[in-house]
Chains A and B, each alone.
Chain A
Amino acid sequence: MKNVDQADQAHPLLESFVELVRRASTDLPADVEMALKVARDQEAAGSAAEGALDTILQNVALARANSTPVCQDTGVPIFYIYHPPGVSTQSLRSQIEEAVAEATRRAYLRPNAVDSLTGKNSGNNLGVGFPTFHFEAWNEDFVHVDLLLKGGGSENVGVQYKLPYSPLEAGRDLEGVRRVVLDAVYQAQGKGCAPAVLGIAIGADRGTGFVHAKEQLFRPLSDVNPNPQLAKLEDTLLRECNELGIGPMGFGGETSVLGVKVGAYHRLPACYFVSVAYMCWACRRARMILQTDANRQACLVGEVEYK
């Protein structure tokens, strides 16, 4: 048996990463919870939509108090990690994997990694390409870890359009983007657990389109897009998606979408993709900041900050 000290030396950040997972699974970001409260007050008194949002808000409070998952579908843990050059991504990855398995043992996560060939669940959320990691070196001297827990219901209604898209007369411009995003929300109905947060990437290739679309989901709901054209599109889409009247859970109602975040990326001349990442109301994102030592080589355990 390993003694505790040895374990700590091999995985100094293990408990910190378990705590990141716990926070993501058992609580909602304050801006999302506030948006749900605002939405509740806008629904008609006594409506099924109001009832659904009341239940959602009670559930969020209970999950926080009991430290139990907000939603049983704790999804794919998706990590976006920004780090100074020199920090070992291998070490970060192995410690995070160990933390994910430990968080599963502690019932913060449901075992969700299923072998596509045999159908066997690995039981600890570890598998080939599971969880998901995106590493990017940057010039800051700290490590920034973003975690998103994205469930299968919402993942199933995500969609990628190729413009032009003739059924909606959607051309290769922002008007075309507006049309297909409205279609995506219409197609999803209540199946992705509306009200949703939409992360949208215009451009890129098929694969990175969704990577960027999910990156957009880390922006706070109040964040205003620095590009005025995209800021305007986000406002328009937020208003118009809610005019669809799908409502919480698809019961019909005033709020189908809590936020719309759009990024634009360079594309090939021949390709114009619009990737829509549909995130359920349980928009479980969490962030931690790790300070590094003077040489930017190692992460310092004592300096963990959660956001």
Chain B
Amino acid sequence: MANYNLTVPISDEDIRALRVGDTVNLSGVIVTGRDAAHKYMIEHFVRTDDVPASEQALYETLREILQGSVIYHCGPVVRQREDDGRWEFVAAGPTTSIREEPYEAEVIEHFGLRGVIGKGGMGADTLQACGEYGAVYFHAVGGAASLIADAVKEVVAVHKKDEFGVPEAFWVIRVEDFPVVVTMDAHGRSIHSEVERKSKDALARLTYSVD
């Protein structure tokens, strides 16, 4: 298990060098997106040839930022500064990623993501997309919200805040040394499926019945 410092945009070569269990300190501009954001991206950008004119500007913005970057599954607590009206992240741990499983593989492909950050791991479709397009699943520590907010150095922009609400908006943030663990890599390995398999055996042992 190695430790890496990576700055987005990340190259295909660098992402494929990562293996499950590696720890990474991530830096650069990334974007939060969770349930509403994934549904929106799929409906307006990914599964259509016709991006609505009203959404075109945001589409271009996201394409530019996300190429080689990562999406962070997170609904933060934010505060608006009184002096200059700028937003700050107060608490910003990961949310459960598996809810985005129906969408993530297509989002990775469409935007050229090098990874997603979340918690709890994702399923077979995402794992396959990681191998196919060169991406990994970065696990942040669930609930470590104040610590991760400390790594968020700047809120660059926010999109869809009024429409989606604070937790669901696209927050464009600049992070420095965001601590994550690779739990699904581009080589088909997932800590989540390995732990699940072992715990299934343990469950069978603990609930064994003699007929």
Q: Is B146 an interface residue (CB 8 A)?
A: yes
CB distance from B114 to the nearest CB of A (A): 21
B146 touching A193 by the CB < 8 A rule?
Answer: no
Interface of B is mostly: mixed
Q: Is A218 an interface residue (CB 8 A)?
A: no
**CA separation between A76 and B71, bound complex, in Å?**
26
**CA separation between A71 and B55, bound complex, in Å?**
32
Q: Which residue of the partner chain B has the closest CB to A114?
A: B165
Q: Which residue of the partner chain A has the closest CB to B194?
A: A252
Interface residues of A (CB under 8 A from B): 46, 48, 51-52, 55-56, 58-59, 62-63, 66, 68-74, 107, 109-112, 114, 119-121, 123, 151-153, 156, 168-169, 179, 182-183, 186, 189-191, 193, 240, 243-247, 249-252, 280-282
A51 touching B23 by the CB < 8 A rule?
Answer: yes
Task: From A69, A186, A191, A251, give the contact of B146 (CB < 8 A).
Answer: A69
Q: Which residue of the partner chain B has the closest CB to A180?
A: B207
A250 touching B121 by the CB < 8 A rule?
Answer: yes
Interface of A is mostly: loop
**CA separation between A243 and B79, bound complex, in Å?**
42
Task: From A66, A182, A193, A252, give the contact of B207 (CB < 8 A).
Answer: A182
B120 touching A59 by the CB < 8 A rule?
Answer: no
Mark out the residues of chain B between 132 and 189 whose CB falls within 8 Å of any chain A CB in the assembled complex. Answer: 139, 141-150, 164-168, 179, 181, 183
Q: Is B51 an interface residue (CB 8 A)?
A: no
CB distance from A266 to the nearest CB of B (A): 27
**CA separation between A55 and B119, bound complex, in Å?**
14
B93 touching A73 by the CB < 8 A rule?
Answer: yes
**CA separation between A74 and B199, bound complex, in Å?**
29
Return 5 A-B CB contacts under 8 Å, by A number.
A56-B143, A62-B146, A109-B77, A153-B120, A251-B181
Residues from chain B with a CB closer than 8 A to the CB of A68 are 77, 90-91, 145-146, 149
